[in-house]
């Protein structure tokens, strides 16, 4: 792993630890339990956000929208936009006129890695490295117990491109992350 990749991995771990702790606190205050914790990416992959959905909110969503979604999946609940999401907004300590400095450290490091690229192959390589770093960081946080005993609490972990409605095949970030981070049936729970 290169120095840049090690730095990205370390920052991703810190980001997840910070964000999940805040999300968990929000969920606990609401008297609920986390069902899924995930990163959602868009074409500009460095702008990844993270969120969680609770077991209770998924069940309520499925019950309320059972006519629209016969077998409501987690991805349908996310894409629909009507399921309660718990998100952590990383607070900027020293606001600046420089927009980049007002982003999370994870965003800054990833953005700087592609900031002056004009080569698509290198851009795609950086995207892949970022995806790999997020999965590895989630794995490390899981191994360190951040998500509790997932065999008991059932928390699913994954990362995916939120605008990739129809292409979540075996090459996708969703498939790779779901199968690397969870039990064998997790991918089917996500997509139905």
Residue 187 confidence (pLDDT): 83
Q: Which domain holds residue 71?
A: 3-191
Give the rounded distance of the alpha carbon of 155 from its chain centre.
13
Domain count of the chain?
Answer: 1
Write down the pTM of the prediction. 0.89
**DSSP-based three-state secondary structure for 117:** coil
Planar angle of CA 91, 97, 98, nearest 5 degrees = 80
pLDDT in tens, the chain (192 residues): 688 889 999 999 999 999 999 999 999 999 999 999 999 988 888 888 899 999 999 999 999 988 888 788 888 888 888 778 888 766 555 667 777 887 888 888 888 888 888 888 988 898 899 999 999 999 999 999 999 999 999 999 999 998 765 577 788 899 999 999 998 888 888 887
- Rounded CA-CA distance 162/67 in Å is 23
Residue 131 confidence (pLDDT): 92
Contact 186, 174 (CB under 8 A): no
Residue 166 confidence (pLDDT): 59
Residues forming a β-bridge with 156: 36
- Rounded CA-CA distance 142/131 in Å is 17
């Amino acid at each position: 792993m290169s120095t840049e990749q090690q730095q990205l991995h370390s920052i991703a771990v810190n980001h997840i630890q910070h964000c999940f702790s805040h999300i968990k606190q929000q969920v606990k205050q609401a008297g609920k339990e986390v069902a899924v914790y995930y990163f959602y990416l868009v074409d500009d992959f460095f702008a990844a956000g993270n969120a969680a959905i609770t077991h209770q909110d998924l069940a309520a969503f499925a019950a309320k929208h059972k006519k629209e979604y016969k077998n409501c999946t987690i991805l349908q609940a996310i894409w629909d936009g009507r399921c309660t999401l718990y998100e952590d907004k990383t607070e900027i300590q020293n606001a600046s006129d420089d927009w980049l400095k007002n982003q999370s450290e994870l965003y800054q490091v990833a953005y700087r890695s592609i900031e002056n690229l004009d080569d698509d192959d290198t851009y795609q390589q950086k995207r892949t490295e970022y995806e790999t770093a997020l999965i590895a960081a989630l794995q490390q946080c899981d191994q360190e117990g951040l998500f509790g005993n997932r065999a008991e609490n059932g928390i699913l972990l994954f990362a995916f491109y939120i605008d990739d409605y129809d292409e979540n095949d075996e090459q996708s970030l969703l498939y790779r992350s779901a199968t690397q981070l969870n039990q064998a049936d997790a991918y089917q729970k996500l997509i139905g």
